[in-house]
């Protein structure tokens, strides 16, 4: 098979045994550094991507991505707005909701919650729907005064499906001869859900008409319109709707923005720190290439006396030095993909459990691959290795045969 001369000699140098064992050790060490850096980057970032996706699904999948309300938290002509809101490209669904804070009371416990009155046929939170393991949304009917609650909340209150609880709301209080009395009503637990986040401890679902009756507003009125987007992160680039006078728009960034900003900052810091490993390995390639050039001075001088150009010699040492980075990047990429794919089995074999669920059992680490991210890591490591060879190759091309062969 035909090889260009520079490629043939460069690959031969990578496979040949060197007289200088220290140069061989540094070269091997630099290849290992590239491999370790790429492996760590792919593994850690894949797990971080998985955690971010898990948070996005469990938290942003259970809360509205945007809400339209007003200062009084009472909307009357909301039906007319829904068709216009659904015309926005980023909006997946719109649903009316009656939302307020309350206290749930049982014989043995008292717990603060947030209740949401919804219309089962319009309810859009797929996370809650898929997390219902007892009961269903269709059980919520106006006038039946039934609720769905999280498993964690039910455990704290000591109730189960079929039990009655008292829901007390400060909104809609009445003044009586005995003083100001909060609005309260008995509800029957019709179902349980388990999202796996704080939603399980805070949220009650009931029919919209029952919620309106609890806070003493008209059954046709709501407190807000909830908007769900195709992707929650579209909120940063979407075109907000035109609101009616007095209405205000809020989105998930007000309540959960700091959490996702912290996750993003952690990913960036991890990326930076692990990239330093690759940079150190690239400097090792630079140092080993410089020593190889010094070790091969006489051979370079002979090649130049035979008529080889400086450009060809440049390519010889670029290929010889970059070979370590290319091999290290390829091995690191494959190893990183394998390790991240079997990360849970590996940690289970080592007896390490990083996270646990609420019941005390082990939970798996989520892993999410981003092909573009992996490609950037691999090609970036190769590019750094290539850049590290430019100076040694330049020195080799400028070797003077007369000076080197004078003492030979």
Look at residue 64 and tell me whether its pLDDT is greater than 70: yes
Look at residue 120 and tell me whether its pLDDT is greater than 60: yes
Q: Is this structure's pTM higher than 0.85? A: no
Q: What pLDDT is recorded for position 12?
A: 61
Distance CA 371, CA 397 (A): 38
Both structure tokens of 166 = 């008292």
Q: What is the number of domains present in the chain?
A: 2
Q: What pLDDT is recorded for position 402?
A: 59
Count of other CB atoms within 10 angstroms of residue 101: 12
In this structure, the answer to whether residues 124 and 267 fall within a common structural domain is no
Q: DSSP strand E in 34-178: where?
A: 66-70, 91-105, 110-118, 132-134, 146-150, 164-176
CA distances (Å), 32 to each of 185, 282, 384, 388, in order?
68, 11, 15, 16
Find the angle CA(2)-CA(295)-CA(19) to the nearest 5 degrees.
Answer: 90
In this structure, the answer to whether residues 79 and 140 fall within a common structural domain is yes
In this structure, the answer to whether residues 198 and 266 fall within a common structural domain is no
How far from each other are the two terminal CA atoms of the chain, in whole angstroms?
35
In this structure, the answer to whether residues 72 and 53 fall within a common structural domain is no
In this structure, the answer to whether residues 117 and 170 fall within a common structural domain is yes
Interval 320-329 mean pLDDT: 81
Count of other CB atoms within 10 angstroms of residue 307: 7
Distance CA 58, CA 46 (A): 18
Look at residue 131 and tell me whether its pLDDT is greater than 80: yes
Residue 166: which pLDDT band, with cuts at 50, 70 and 90? very high
Which candidate, 120, 85, 72, 118, places its Cα nearest to that of 99? 118
In this structure, the answer to whether residues 289 and 192 fall within a common structural domain is no
What are phi and psi for residue 353, nearest 5 degrees?
-125, 110
Look at residue 151 and tell me whether its pLDDT is greater than 70: yes
In this structure, the answer to whether residues 232 and 272 fall within a common structural domain is no
Rg (CA), the chain: 33
Find the angle CA(162)-CA(168)-CA(169) to the nearest 5 degrees.
Answer: 130
In this structure, the answer to whether residues 33 and 181 fall within a common structural domain is no
Residue 165: which pLDDT band, with cuts at 50, 70 and 90? very high
Interval 51-79 mean pLDDT: 83
Q: Which of 251, 269, 301 is the last residue of a domain?
A: 251
Q: What pLDDT is recorded for position 192?
A: 92
Look at residue 361 and tell me whether its pLDDT is greater than 50: no
Distance CA 221, CA 208 (A): 9
Q: What pLDDT is recorded for position 401?
A: 67
The answer for residues whose C-beta is within 8 angstroms of residue 68's C-beta and 6 or more apart is 75, 81, 85, 224, 225, 227, 241, 243, 247, 248, 249
Residue 359: which pLDDT band, with cuts at 50, 70 and 90? very low
The answer for residues whose C-beta is within 8 angstroms of residue 323's C-beta and 6 or more apart is 10, 11, 14
Interval 195-212 mean pLDDT: 86
Count of other CB atoms within 10 angstroms of residue 263: 15
Render pLDDT for 236-286 as a digit per residue (tens, 0 to 9): 888 888 888 888 988 888 878 888 888 888 888 888 888 888 888 888 778
What are phi and psi for residue 246, nearest 5 degrees?
90, -10
Which H/E stretch holds residue 61?
none
Look at residue 334 and tell me whether its pLDDT is greater than 90: yes
In this structure, the answer to whether residues 203 and 150 fall within a common structural domain is yes
Burial code (b: 16+ CB inside 10 Å, e: under 16) for 110-135 equals: ebebebbbbbbeebbbebbeebbebb
Distance CA 189, CA 227 (A): 27
Residue 15: which pLDDT band, with cuts at 50, 70 and 90? low
Percentage above 90 pLDDT, the chain: 9
In this structure, the answer to whether residues 273 and 318 fall within a common structural domain is yes
Q: Which of 251, 271, 287 is the last residue of a domain?
A: 251
Interval 62-91 mean pLDDT: 86
Q: What pLDDT is recorded for position 233?
A: 85
In this structure, the answer to whether residues 190 and 224 fall within a common structural domain is yes
Q: Which of 226, 251, 276 is the last residue of a domain?
A: 251
Q: How many residues does the chain have?
A: 408
In this structure, the answer to whether residues 216 and 277 fall within a common structural domain is no
- The answer to which of 8-12, 99-103, 293-297, 357-361 has the lowest mean pLDDT is 357-361
Range of the domain at 134: 66-251
Look at residue 54 and tell me whether its pLDDT is greater than 70: yes
Determine how β-strand 91-105 pairs with β-strand 146-150: unpaired
Q: What pLDDT is recorded for position 88?
A: 87
Interval 51-59 mean pLDDT: 81
Cβ atoms of 311 and 17 within 8 Å: the answer is no
């Amino acid at each position: 098979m035909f090889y260009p001369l520079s490629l043939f000699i460069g690959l031969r140098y990578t496979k040949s045994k060197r007289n200088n064992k220290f140069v061989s050790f540094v070269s091997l060490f630099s290849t290992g550094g590239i491999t370790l850096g790429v492996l760590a980057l792919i593994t850690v970032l894949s797990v971080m991507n998985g955690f971010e996706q898990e948070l996005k699904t469990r938290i942003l999948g259970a809360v509205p991505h945007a809400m339209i309300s007003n200062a009084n938290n009472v909307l009357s002509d909301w039906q007319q707005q829904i068709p216009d809101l659904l015309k926005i490209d980023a909006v997946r669904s719109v649903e009316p909701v009656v939302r307020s804070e309350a206290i749930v009371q049982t014989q043995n416990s008292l717990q603060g919650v947030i209740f949401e009155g919804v219309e089962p046929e319009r309810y859009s939170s797929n996370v809650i729907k898929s997390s219902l393991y007892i009961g269903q949304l269709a059980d919520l009917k106006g006038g039946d005064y039934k609720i769905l609650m999280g498993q964690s909340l039910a455990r704290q209150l000591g109730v189960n499906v079929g039990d009655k609880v008292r829901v007390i709301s400060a909104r809609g209080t009445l003044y009586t001869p005995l003083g100001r009395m909060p609005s309260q009503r008995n509800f029957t637990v019709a179902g349980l859900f388990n999202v796996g986040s704080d939603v399980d401890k805070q949220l009650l679902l009931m029919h919209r008409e029952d919620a309106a009756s609890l806070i003493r507003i008209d059954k046709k009125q709501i407190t807000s319109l909830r908007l769900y987007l195709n992707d929650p992160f579209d909120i940063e680039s979407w075109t907000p709707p035109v609101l009616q006078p007095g209405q205000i728009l809020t989105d998930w960034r007000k309540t959960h923005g700091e959490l996702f900003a912290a996750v993003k900052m952690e990913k960036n810091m991890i990326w930076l720190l692990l990239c330093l490993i690759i940079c150190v390995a690239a400097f090792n390639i630079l140092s080993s290439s410089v020593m190889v050039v010094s070790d091969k001075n006489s051979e370079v001088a002979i090649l130049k006396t035979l008529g080889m150009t400086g450009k060809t010699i440049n390519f010889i040492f670029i290929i010889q030095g970059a070979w370590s980075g290319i091999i290290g990047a390829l091995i690191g990429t494959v190893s990183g993909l394998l390790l991240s794919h079997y990360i849970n089995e590996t940690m289970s074999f080592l007896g390490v459990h990083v996270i646990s669920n609420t019941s005390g059992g082990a939970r798996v680490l989520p892993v999410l691959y981003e092909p573009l991210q992996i490609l950037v890591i691999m090609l970036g490591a190769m590019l750094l290795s290539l850049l590290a060879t430019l100076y040694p190759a330049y020195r080799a091309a400028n070797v003077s045969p007369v000076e080197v062969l004078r003492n030979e």
